[in-house]
Amino acid sequence: MPALCRSCLHDFAEGARCPDCGSPRVVSHPELFSLSIAHMDCDAFYASVEKREDPSLASKPLIIGGGRRGVVSTACYIARIRGVRSAMPMFQALKLCPDAVVLPPRMKPYAEVSKQIRAMMDELTPDVEPLSLDEAFMDLSGTARLHGRPPAVMLARLVRRMKDELGLTGSIGLSHNKFLAKIASDLDKPMGFSVIGEAETASFLHDKPVRMIWGVGQAMQAQLEKAGIHRFSDLLRWEKADLHARFGSMGDRLWHLARGEDHRRVSANAPVKSISNETTFHEDTSDPDLLDGHIWRLAENVSDRAKARGLAGRVVTLKLKRANHTQLTRRQSLRDATQLADSIYRTARALFDAIGQQGPYRLIGVGISELIPEDQADRSADLLDPQAARRSGAERASDAIRARFGPEAIVKGRALR
Amino acid sequence: MKISIERGALLKAVSQAQSVVERRNTIPILANVLIEAEGSDVHFRATDLDIEVVDRAPAQVERAGATTVSAVTLHEIVRKLPDGALVTLTDDGASGRLSVEAGRSHFNLATLPKEDFPVMASSEYSSNFSAPAPVLRRLFDKSKFAISTEETRYYLNGVYMHVSESDGGKVLRCVATDGHRLARIDADLPNGAADMPGVIVPRKTVGELRKLLDDDDTQIAVSVSETKVRFATPDITLTSKVIDGTFPDYTRVIPQGNTRRLEVDAAEFAKAVDRVATVSSERSRAVKLTLEEDKLTLSVNAPDSGAAEEELAVAYGDERLEIGFNAKYLLEIASQVDRENAVFLFNSSGDPTLMREGNDTSAVYVVMPMRV
């Protein structure tokens, strides 16, 4: 069975240790040198970056996340041993690990490191599809002749380089499609290298729970369980048409995934489909003034990002999560797409008012979707709102001021609520 | 209950009923039509809790009574029956079935108890008047295209019918707007309407009302209260709740000082707009109007898909002006013009534009320009 030493990148035929350097960090698989779709996932990325910047944190449990009521966004592996998981409420994490150091996320340095990793991946293949700052799909098909070594070797070299040059570790999943590559990268974390070959796909998936599917969250899982679907083997019993009838387009996807099929391409420029932002409160609230301030800040953040990308949205979405975790979402299509914070805010605020009193809420989110280029947006004014043109002029002017003097140079009073 | 009724009369009555019934219903009885037979008439009543329609049709009533059946199913059956057939509806009260017989066809339909059927509470109407069908038809037909579908501004989801003043005289006026265009249509004030409260007639009601207005000779009895409006012909009574909200002050939206006057043949204009808009790929197809002395140039420039240009001979004597509009909005207002030339009054490329038919101010339209 082909094998590869992840320490010295020597490839050999058989064995648990590298015949060359003696390292036990060996990965072997019958299809090791023929698979080319990979998923790279950094290990505890935010925490690792922080530990790298401040070596005194190295041996301490570290949690990156926000506020008393916030959630854990990343926990280092020391904290994970104690049971801390990402997306866990902070109070629970601190109960499990009271001596943890908690730091708020600092996106700027993370984005910088992410750029360096991206540059390394770009050297391997032009087909890099980032999912977030710390993970990406890569399609290395047809690169073996260019690099002189098969994809598996290049991937092992990538993580070795990340460790040597950036001081960060990552895990690789290697398979024949994106769905399985993503599952694989998670199998052997941290510093993992897992392979799911074509031959073993069916047997590998058979007993796995369906929540493994990327995109199947709590709600979807509950729906599936209602239909008696817990594992992939349960899915195999369903006809495609029945799954479609019950779950819509997700049903079609489930039918294919159950068979280990995923025909999505790794695409370097996956178009942005929506821009959104949400915030979890320190304490549940139904105070309309407080919520209004949040709606404005979220709208402004969404607007800033839309403006930075030259995009505008035709649909505005408002999301509210109640104290009992049930979720309300409302959307409004606009006649004229917008990227203006003022219009996003007003639309979201109208949606909020239409919901009525259903609080208290623990989370609020605002987003735009059905994105189009900005030159086709905000092109006509509202007859019934003659002040809108003045407000949009004021917004463009304060954008210019903020671009020159910094984001805090001018803010709306509403943002201080 | 046992009645015999001619298929044509039954179809007419049932089709009005089934169009009021909501297709997706969580309350089963709301999918049904209430059939009440008494004397020499049968009444068909349907509701969605906001609108109630009652159709009267002449029938041979052998045995008086009442029951409810699915409006859509009954309509489908009657529609498929041969023209001229005599249809017999029988309900023995005990079996929970309505039998529908016509020639050799025989159907049994499930019924629900008539007691469960929600009958809209009758109310006091503060104003009652009568208006000829063509007058109401014009008021609503020419305004309804501008009704908003935006749910957050629910008070725009209908036509605002109210009494107003024009040239010193009182008029019955209908206004609709979605913030991008506005239609304001006036008619002579019918006798007895002067005290009518202004009401916002919902979009669906406007659609249902339209079916009462086809016959030029019909007089429509209109009753209005703060919360409800009723339109009745001798055979059909349409009662609807009105939208509970305040229609915005539209008068300040209608430009008064627009002086740049363009006169153009509306049909030619609409065809030209339609032609040049073909090349536009965006959803909101923007058309640019360039006005020069007695010449109008319509153009579309879509970088991805192409460009188009067309010239029209028009009457225009002011300064050169370039202004953009959504092609659909232009087509919709141009299609309201049916007798004379369309007259557009512009101010600047950022201000609302007014359109009317010749010098007739009883129907004016306002449309907002867009950046091109």
Q: How many residues are given for chain B?
A: 372
- Closest by CA to A140, choosing from A270, A33, A2, is A33
Distances (CA, A) of B367 to A335, A380, B11, B155: 14, 10, 41, 19
Residues A45 and A194 in one domain: yes
Tokens of residue B218, six digits: 């019909």
- Contact assignment for A384 to B253 by CB distance below 8 Å: yes
Is A23 part of any domain? no
Residue among A354, A381, A386 whose CB faces B152 most closely: A354
- Contact assignment for A384 to B248 by CB distance below 8 Å: yes
3-state secondary structure A5-48: ECCCCCEECCCCCCCCCCCCCEEECCCCCCCCEEEEEECCHHHH
Q: Mutate which of B254, B351, B368, B372 to test chain A, going by most A C-beta atoms within 10 A?
A: B368
Residue among B152, B366, B368 whose CB faces A351 most closely: B152
Q: Tell me what percent of chain A is helix, strand and coil, each rounded to the nearest 5.
A: 40, 25, 35
- Contact assignment for A385 to B368 by CB distance below 8 Å: no
| Domain termination site, one of A156, A173, A199 | A199
The pLDDT assigned to A72 comes to: 87
Is A21 part of any domain? no
Q: What CATH number should be reported for the domain holding residue A279?
A: 3.30.1490.100
- Chain B partners of A376 at a C-beta cutoff of 8 Å? 282, 284
Q: What is the DSSP string of B197-236?
A: PPEEEEHHHHHHHHTT---TTPEEEEEE-SSEEEEE-SSE
Is A53 part of any domain? yes
Residues A188 and A59 in one domain: yes
- pLDDT digit string (tens) for B309-359? 999 999 999 999 999 999 999 999 999 998 889 999 999 998 999 999 999
Distances (CA, A) of A248 to A219, A244, B292: 15, 5, 55
**Residue A98 CA from chain centroid, whole number:** 28
Across the beta sheet with A128-132, what order do the strands follow? A128-132, A135-139, A37-42, A170-175, A193-195
- Chain B partners of A317 at a C-beta cutoff of 8 Å? none
A62 to chain B, minimum CA–CA distance in Å? 45
Residues A280 and A247 in one domain: no
Sorting pLDDT into bands at 50, 70 and 90, what band is A174?
A: very high
User: CB B369: neighbour CB atoms within 10 A?
Assistant: 25
Residues A174 and A315 in one domain: no
**Residue A343 CA from chain centroid, whole number:** 27
The pLDDT assigned to B114 comes to: 92
Is A77 part of any domain? yes
pTM of the model: 0.73
Tell me the pLDDT of chain B averaged across its residues. 92
Query: What is the count of residue pairs from A and B with beta carbons less than 8 Å apart?
Result: 57
- pLDDT digit string (tens) for A180-191? 999 999 998 889
Could you tell me where the beta strands, DSSP code E, fall in A72-126? 72-75, 101-103
Residues A372 and A360 in one domain: yes
Residues A179 and A284 in one domain: no
- Chain B partners of A386 at a C-beta cutoff of 8 Å? 253
- pLDDT digit string (tens) for A7-19? 999 988 888 888 8
Is A187 part of any domain? yes
Chain B touched by A384 (CB under 8 Å): yes
Residues A135 and A216 in one domain: no
With a CB cutoff of 8 Å and minimum separation 6, the contacts of A65 are A71, A72, A73, A74, A90, A93, A102, A104, A105
Chain B touched by A312 (CB under 8 Å): no
H-state helical runs in A217-286? 218-226, 232-236, 240-247, 249-258
Residues A358 and A288 in one domain: yes
- Contact assignment for B326 to A380 by CB distance below 8 Å: yes
Chain B touched by A383 (CB under 8 Å): yes
Tokens of residue B292, six digits: 């020069």
Tokens 């916002």 belong to residue: B200
* Catalytic site residue from A31, A50, A135, A395: A135
- Closest by CA to B171, choosing from B128, B203, B210, B139, is B139
| Burial (CB count <10 Å: 0-12, 13-18, 19+), residue B167 | exposed
Question: Beta partners for A276?
Answer: A367
Residues A140 and A216 in one domain: no
Highest mean pLDDT among A308-317, B117-126, B202-211: B202-211
Amino acid at A133: L
Domain span including residue A339: 274-396
| Domain termination site, one of A174, A199, A224 | A199
Residues A186 and A254 in one domain: no
- Chain B partners of A346 at a C-beta cutoff of 8 Å? none
Is A128 part of any domain? yes
Predicted-assembly ipTM surpassing the 0.85 threshold: no
Chain B touched by A372 (CB under 8 Å): yes
**Residue A354 CA from chain centroid, whole number:** 31
- pLDDT digit string (tens) for A209-267? 988 887 777 778 888 888 899 999 998 988 888 888 888 888 888 899 999 999 888 88
- pLDDT digit string (tens) for B269-295? 999 999 999 988 766 688 999 999 999
Half-sphere exposure of B260 (CA within 13 A, CB side): 20
Residues A225 and A297 in one domain: no
Instruction: Find out whether A285 and A371 touch, Cβ atoms under 8 Å.
Output: no
Is A13 part of any domain? no
How many domains does chain A contain in total?
Answer: 3
Residues A232 and A160 in one domain: no
Residue among B152, B178, B180 whose CB faces A347 most closely: B152
Q: What CATH number should be reported for the domain holding residue A226?
A: 1.10.150.20
Question: Beta partners for A174?
Answer: A38, A195
Is A229 part of any domain? yes
- pLDDT digit string (tens) for A3-60? 999 999 998 888 888 888 889 999 999 999 999 999 999 999 999 999 999 999 999 9
Q: Is the pLDDT of residue A270 over 70?
A: no
User: What percent of chain B shows pLDDT beyond 90?
Assistant: 82
- Closest by CA to A48, choosing from A113, A131, A118, A132, is A113
Q: What CATH number should be reported for the domain holding residue A141?
A: 3.30.70.270
Residue among A372, A384, A389 whose CB faces B179 most closely: A384
Is A135 in the active site?
yes
Residue of B nearest to A381 (CA): B368
**B104 membership: H or E segment, kind and range:** none
The pLDDT assigned to B122 comes to: 78
Mean pLDDT of A312-326: 90
